[in-house]
Structure 1
């Protein structure tokens, strides 16, 4: 893996710095800070815990590069958990790290935290949107529908899944919510699909201290294995204010956007390989490194890059994290979603796609998560039998088996 790894957890954590920035049109701009509620703080920790554990799962794949949106996955699964109760609900709560919170408290905190993230920095655009589509003809339980609308501001619509282009309705919505960065995430809708729960998130922020495009030049970048490669290396216009920290093993740095409420966090080993510091990347350490970081002034050089990563199914990662029942047909799954009797339901796949582009001006990033819910078998409707070929027939008494009449119909036109 290359010696440069981006951990974007800091996109959704409040920074310590809140210095105003100057804008020619807006004048001085300050962050819209307010005191976090206790449950909001709990959800922030839940999201960070989930993100770190998901990051650890991704590292098992030994990919050279990847980019994901754990916040999007966390929110999509938070919606999904509301369709369950009992032990299955607890499974979701544990995986999502909602420790010590009730389902209602978690939902309410997600709602208020989402609003906070979208408005905390006037110069950073953050869009967080949720949508739900279900098979036309089914009826969603009123409580589930109300929770999705009230807590997640989710658009809930019936959709004719049998229509060949039905999946494009969902794809087009995701594209519209991510500034066209995430397109065509769903290839088709299978016959057994009954619901899609979707989260989309979009981020666009300018660096607080921008890079000088005229200074961007080809420069070597040194992977852990193999020869050096050439990259477009950006350079800051002047000395910039950064926050640096870490410990004996880890070099930690925060690069601020806009007011400093959103940051890009950089984590590198002091020596050795990235894999050597993997155990050090925990929620507790991230909080400590950020809290104890000190402000410094330096010329900053970093690669200009664009990265896109798609995971066709998060089943393996999430099962490893403890979400097991949801991916197996069980009558305990999704008992709070639809009215009436239904065959056992399950999650067939969770599709995730994320994209990031880093240049001299700032960062644009987006992610989308699609939870596909299916039934193990669909009601086939009334059996239709068409006697459209010649046949014999008879009339008999049932109990004795006595045959009273027998015949053949070979050509009705000749009758």
Structure 2
């Protein structure tokens, strides 16, 4: 199972008669707007992955770029002026997609996901909230457009109860897997706004790993350190290829329903910076080549670790490195949300958890001994993820990365 949540702490400021522009009512939904939204997400996702990898060296990484993007999207809806411009650029929102149409695309996507949720194949829930202090005068047009996202709390009168309310909401959305997202000092009587996203995914492998074949094997953390971990094993028909642009063997492990798959990107064992090289070279075009390639299924012996990882990320330095402008400074402009007060974000926290087992869910894997080849051998390929690798949980209908990570060290 995979669960995750992202949080932003803040307060805000002012604007005009129409919500986002002087001619909001004249804007019409373009069928391509939802597609453009996903394109922006993908560019932002890969930039974010690079930034996190630079901050977290020699450790496991796990996060939901989908969650981070949607929490920032709420900030973009609320922003004005230079803050809005900086967020638009960092979120890779197309110049042809104005804010009115973006809100429309967001709402269409939300309705679509709601109708498809809790299917027999898998479960993916993505929820957004703007928790505002009762003293903050939110513009009426925003209340109308984002009524399902807005929730009023008494930060000023009772910050502890407000914090508990937000943490309880996150825990409920993530089926009790993400707890106490906001720490004790996370909110105060001065808090005006908390932007939050919580996401939860549970998937079952299309081809499950037989539990009786799970055995402890060596995982090579580095050339000088190794450890024993449980490895799951099966032989079956899988999509498998070698991508020289990324410097990786790539294996697709689909979840039941085939809309969502885990892709494991395994660098050559001989390449010391193999993982960072993959992340650095991973572009939207190269990712598309991987997930859209019509390569044939083939016999593959798969061995991947069984593991659970929970990670908390302090997102402020990472987001500032991505160019979110003055989001965390007193000069921040959130005039679209409220024209009565000036406020800005204090911090951003992201917490994620992944659990992989024989049944499925969400997790990692990669290969062992590796050599680049252009021809495919007749004998079954062997994919043994017994040294550091990159993994991606990818949703095909929307071309979105829901979760991603690096598995480097079973002991961390």
Q: TM-score by structure 1 length?
A: 0.73
Contact 1:240 1:300 (8 Å CA) reproduced = no
**Alignment of 1:242 onto 2:239:** yes
Distance across 2 between alignment mates of 1:74 and 1:54:
10
Q: What is the aligned partner in structure 1 of residue 214 from structure 2?
A: 216
Q: What is the aligned partner in structure 2 of residue 291 from structure 1?
A: 292
Q: What runs of 5+ residues in structure 1 fail to find an aligned partner? A: 1-7, 9-35, 369-415
Query: Structure 1, residues 342-376: CA drift from partner, whole Å, max 9, x if none?
Result: 2x3111011110000000001158999xxxxxxxx
Gap change, CA 1:37 and 1:263, over 3 Å in 2: farther
Q: Which residue among 159, 166, 171 is the counterpart of 1:170?
A: 166
Q: TM-score by structure 2 length?
A: 0.74
Distance across 1 between alignment mates of 2:123 and 2:109:
15
**Alignment of 1:276 onto 2:270:** no
Query: Structure 1, residues 11-30: CA drift from partner, whole Å, max 9, x if none?
Result: xxxxxxxxxxxxxxxxxxxx
Q: Which residue among 74, 78, 101 is the counterpart of 1:79?
A: 74
Q: What is the aligned partner in structure 1 of residue 61 from structure 2?
A: 66
Contact 1:39 1:109 (8 Å CA) reproduced = yes
Larger CA Rg, structure 1 vs 2: 1
Gap change, CA 1:54 and 1:67, over 3 Å in 2: same
Q: Which residue among 118, 137, 140 is the counterpart of 1:139?
A: 137
Distance across 2 between alignment mates of 1:278 and 1:160:
40
Q: What is the aligned partner in structure 2 of residue 350 from structure 1?
A: 348
Distance across 2 between alignment mates of 1:60 and 1:364:
24
Q: What runs of 5+ residues in structure 2 fail to find an aligned partner? A: 4-29, 364-392, 394-401, 404-412
Aligned 1:106-145 pairs, distance under 5 A: 106-117=102-113, 119=116, 122-145=120-143
Distance across 2 between alignment mates of 1:240 and 1:216:
19
Shift of 1:208: 0.4
Contact 1:185 1:353 (8 Å CA) reproduced = yes
Gap change, CA 1:262 and 1:158, over 3 Å in 2: same
Higher normalized contact order (CA 8 Å, seq sep 6+, divided by chain length): 2
2:175 counterpart SS class? coil
Query: Structure 1, residues 251-309: CA drift from partner, whole Å, max 9, x if none?
Result: 22221001211011111224512223332111111111222252223222110010010
Q: What is the aligned partner in structure 2 of residue 338 from structure 1?
A: 338
Gap change, CA 1:290 and 1:181, over 3 Å in 2: same
Q: What is the aligned partner in structure 1 of residue 19 from structure 2?
A: none
Q: What is the aligned partner in structure 2 of residue 105 from structure 1?
A: 101
Q: What is the aligned partner in structure 1 of residue 389 from structure 2?
A: none
Q: Which residue among 356, 359, 362 is the counterpart of 1:361?
A: 359
Distance across 2 between alignment mates of 1:184 and 1:289:
37
1:347 counterpart SS class? coil
Aligned 1:2-41 pairs, distance under 5 A: 37-41=31-35
Shift of 1:201: 0.5
Q: What is the aligned partner in structure 2 of residue 380 from structure 1?
A: none
2:327 counterpart SS class? helix
Gap change, CA 1:125 and 1:169, over 3 Å in 2: same
Distance across 1 between alignment mates of 2:111 and 2:299:
33
Distance across 2 between alignment mates of 1:167 and 1:130:
16
Shift of 1:128: 1.1
Shift of 1:60: 0.5
Distance across 2 between alignment mates of 1:128 and 1:135:
23
Give 4+ residue runs of structure 1 displaced > 6 Å after superposition.
365-368
Q: What is the aligned partner in structure 2 of residue 50 from structure 1?
A: 44
Gap change, CA 1:276 and 1:128, over 3 Å in 2: closer
Query: Between Structure 1 and Structure 2, how many residues are aligned?
Result: 326
